[in-house]
Each structure stands twice: as C-alpha cells, then as structure tokens.
Amino acid sequence: MSAPQEFSDRPAGEAVPVDADVPASPDPTVPAAPAVDVVAAPVQAASTAEDARAEPFGAAAGRPGAELDGGSSAEPDGGSGGEPDGGSGGEPVLPEPVRQRITALTAAALPGLPAEEIPIPLRKVARFAPNRRARLGAQALAAQLAADPLFRQRIGSRSVTDAGDLGAAVAAGMAPAAADPVEVAALAYLVRPEGWRSLIEAAGETVRAEADSAAVAGLVHEAEQRVARAEHDRAVAKVEADKLRDELARVREELGQLREEARSTGRALRESQAALKRATDLVATEKGRATKAAAEHDAEVRRLRSRLAEAEALAASGKQSAKDARAADDARVWLLLETIGQAASGLRRELAISPADKLPADFVADVAADRPGALERSRPRAQDTDDPGRLDQLLALPRAHLIVDGYNVTKRGFAEMSLEQQRKRLITGLGGIAAQTGDEVTVVFDGAERVHGLPPAPRGVRVLFSHKGDTADELIRQLVRAEPAGRPLVVISSDREVADGVRRHGAYPMGADSLLRRLARS
C-alpha cells in the first residue's frame, strides 16, 4: 500500500503512529517523506475546585463581600418564617456569585431605610455614590448582615418588595423554575423562609454545574482544534510526499541525461584540450572583470545601507514627534473633559433633584379647589446657612471662589481680640482652607484707615481693603458681579443685605458661623 493510500484509508481524527510504514526513497540522495505523529489530546472533565467554588468564611476573608459567608455567632434570625441560624451549625457556605448578589441587594436597599434604622457603622456607607457603595462598603455590609438579624430582616423586606413576584415566592419558601438561582439564593439568605438553606445549596450546585459545563466545553473545543490541526498536518504531509515522488522522477530523468552528456563530453574532451589555453586566458579576463564588478557592488550596497539607516533614523524621529504631538493633544482633551466632568458632578450634587412627588393636577387642586380631608402643607424649610457641612459641599464644587466679609466674621468669632489679631487669625485659617480645597479665596475688610505692617497673605488667599468712604459690602457685590455666570461663588457674611444682594447674582450666601465652625474643626 502506498503512503498516500495509507493516509487516506485511515479514519479521520485517528493518530498516525510514529513507526507507520513510509516507502523509502530508492535513491539515497533523495530524503524520505517524514512520518507524521498526530496524537489527540484526551478531554478531561474540569475540576469544580477551579471556578465558581463556594468558600467558607475564613478562606474568603479580605475579599469584597467575604463576610457574607459567616463569622458571626449563631443567633435567631429576624426573617419572617425562617429557620434559626444555629439549626445547622452556623452560617451556610455561599458561592461567590450569591455572595456578590447579596452585597449588591444590601447596597441598593440601604439608602431607602429610615436614618434611625441604619446601623451606625453603615451610615457613612449609605452616603456613598450608588456605583461605589457595593464596592467600597462590601466588608462593612457583610459584617452587619451576619451580626445583626434585625438589619438583615429590614434589608430582606425591602429586597423582597423590590423583587416583586419572585420575592413573594422566595418569602413563601418556593423557587420558581425559570428564576435565576443566584437571585433566589440571595433573597433566601436575606429573608430566610422555611427551607432557605436548601435554596442556597441548590444555587451553589447550579453555579458549580455551569462552571463545570463551561470548563468541559472549553476542553472539547480545544480537543476539536487539535484534531483539526492533526488533519491539516496529515494533508500537508501527503502533499509533501507527492512532491518528493515527482522530484525523484525528475532527478532520475536528469541523471540519464547527464550520463548521455558525459559520454558526449568524453568524445569532445580531446577537441577541448586544444582550446584549453585560449579558454584559460578568457577565464582570467572574466575573473578580473567579475572582481571589479563585485567591488563596485559591495560599495553600492554599503552606500545603500547607509542611506537606509539615515532614512530609518528620520522615520523614527518623525514617529516620536508625532507621538509627542498626539500625547499633548490627548492631555489637552483630558483636561477639558476632566473640567467638564467635575462641573457636571458638582451640579448634580448641588441640585440634588429628586423625582417629583406632586403632579400638576395636585397644584391646581391645592389652589383652586378644596379636597375633603386634605391637610395644610407646611412650607419647605430653607437650607441652614450656618451648617459647616453645607459649606464643605459648596467648596467641593469645581473652581469655586470663596469671598469672606472679614470684620463681619472676626467680630462675631474673635471680638475679644484686637483688630490686628482678628485679621491675622482669620487670614491664617483661610490659608488652611485654600491649601485643602485648592479654591480661590478672597477676604475683604473695611478700609476706614490705612493698615501698616500687614504680614504677607498665605498662598491662595487674596486680602483686600475697600477704599476710604466705601464699605466692604459694596466691594463684595462688585466681586460677585465681576465673576462669569455659572461659576460657583460662596459669600460668607451674616449681613442680610449682603446675602440678598449676592444671591440675586447667583452666589451662595452662607452665615459667618458656618465658616467659624469650619475653622474650629480644622
């Protein structure tokens, strides 16, 4: 049987042994066709210990959401209709997807709880942005869920309500067939109905089964690729064998021609000897000509290589210049985008727009009609202008400008000091605020008399005195009017006339007590 027929008769995907019979070349100068060794890799089932393995609490410490696995003492659960935690020896082992989903549900439900129902360790986490709460507060949330059954019950109640029919089914101890097992297990952990442990175990089995299926599918795909490569190698080997046979036939034909030529050459040898001297001279001449041509060729090659090196250097320099220009453009674009992004974030925090709880028809009903049983609505309370927290929020706006009515603040907070000491203490405190926030700070004093020996102002703080005959209030209003519309301006003054005047120009008036409390805190 020939080698091509042997390859074609072997079943597809079957490995060709190393010692398979390959016909030897009849001529020792022609290499034999190489044998092809194709070994199919065995497909092994993936170990479930690699992906989606549920971990006990101690092995997952330090990971976000790891505390959801346990770590608390077995306490009675506050969930409705649930079985006690201690009934099966502590907290269950949770798969990683279930642990992450519990953290996400808790983070989403946390802001909806009343302030008095939020545990003290989680009040700071509740103020995080939604996209950061689950990531940065995962450990604190998990620890509180494991240690506080009442808090877990409250979170479970809100999660069940948000889940709708699925939450109601889980609260009743049932798991709908079409529901996501991870979602079911997370709700079961929070609500803890009858049989909640079996729901969590079923979710773990489902997650592990999916991970095993994915691993097996990957191995099957890899095995199919190896089989395809083996088939390709087999086809290539067959083509190479055919080419070698054709080459062997051609070489044999050429060998016969060479033998015939050798006989003709023998007959013509005697005739060639007569022209040997003439041929020798001709060869010497051609050698000299070839040597000269080779020297010229080498010189041309060296010249071309030098020009090529110069061209490559110029190309590299041009690429670096283009790269530097692109980097500068990218930096400018980044700065513009960063400024716009910070301004948008500041507007979002400042406006704090919430969904409307009163529709247009309600406004008409309140003004033009009487509704039975309607209670008189109280007017919304204005924001506290003496709250240092509110001042911190305003100073956090991008490119904010803080303008301070100097003596209005110092006479309210440092009245026992001399005017020089009052100015020095206020300016020093404002220097600290400027260093912390990076904002522009301007403090204005009444200029009834010229001040001598005033120490230099800290970096970032501008100290101004009004002209004689003018008040600091008018200078503050001029500063506010000079700023472009849309820039955050914060004016510190307890003078109502100043506050009303700057508010009309878009500034945020704050009382002197807010700044005094802020300085006392720092």
Distance CA 68, CA 19 (A): 60
In a domain, 332, yes or no: no
Structural domain span for residue 513: 388-521
Distance CA 186, CA 103 (A): 9
Distance CA 195, CA 434 (A): 59
* Residue keyed to tokens 């009382």: 511
Q: List per-residue pLDDT tens for the chain, 522 residues long.
A: 443 343 334 443 444 333 334 344 444 443 444 443 433 333 333 333 334 344 433 334 334 434 444 333 333 343 333 444 434 446 777 888 888 888 888 888 888 888 888 888 888 888 888 778 878 877 888 888 888 888 888 888 888 888 888 888 787 777 787 778 888 888 888 888 887 888 888 777 887 888 788 888 899 999 999 999 999 999 999 999 999 999 999 999 999 999 988 888 888 888 888 888 888 888 999 899 999 999 999 999 999 999 999 898 888 888 888 887 787 677 656 645 665 766 776 666 667 655 455 555 555 555 545 445 444 433 333 456 788 889 999 999 888 999 999 999 999 999 999 989 999 999 999 999 999 999 999 999 988 666 666 778 899 899 999 988 889 999 999 999 988 888 899 999 999 999 999 999 889 999 999 999 999 987
Coil vs helix vs strand at 45: coil
Residues 185 and 290 placed together within one structural domain of the fold = no
In a domain, 229, yes or no: yes
Domain boundary among 250, 267, 284: 267
Distance CA 370, CA 84 (A): 53
Residues 281 and 252 placed together within one structural domain of the fold = no
Q: In the structure encoding, which two tokens stand for residue 293, read together?
A: 């041509």
Q: Where are the alpha helices (DSSP H) in 377-451?
A: 388-395, 406-413, 419-437
Distance CA 402, CA 488 (A): 9
The number of folded domains in the chain is: 3
CATH number at residue 485: 3.40.50.1010
Cα separations (Å) of 170 from 185, 195, 205?
Answer: 9, 10, 18
Residues with Cβ within 8 Å of residue 148, at least 6 apart in sequence: 119
Contact (CB, 8 A) for 244 and 30: yes
Distance CA 307, CA 313 (A): 10
Coil vs helix vs strand at 440: strand
In a domain, 36, yes or no: no
Taking each helix axis from N to C end, the angle separating 149-163 and 181-191, rounded to the nearest 10 degrees, works out to 140
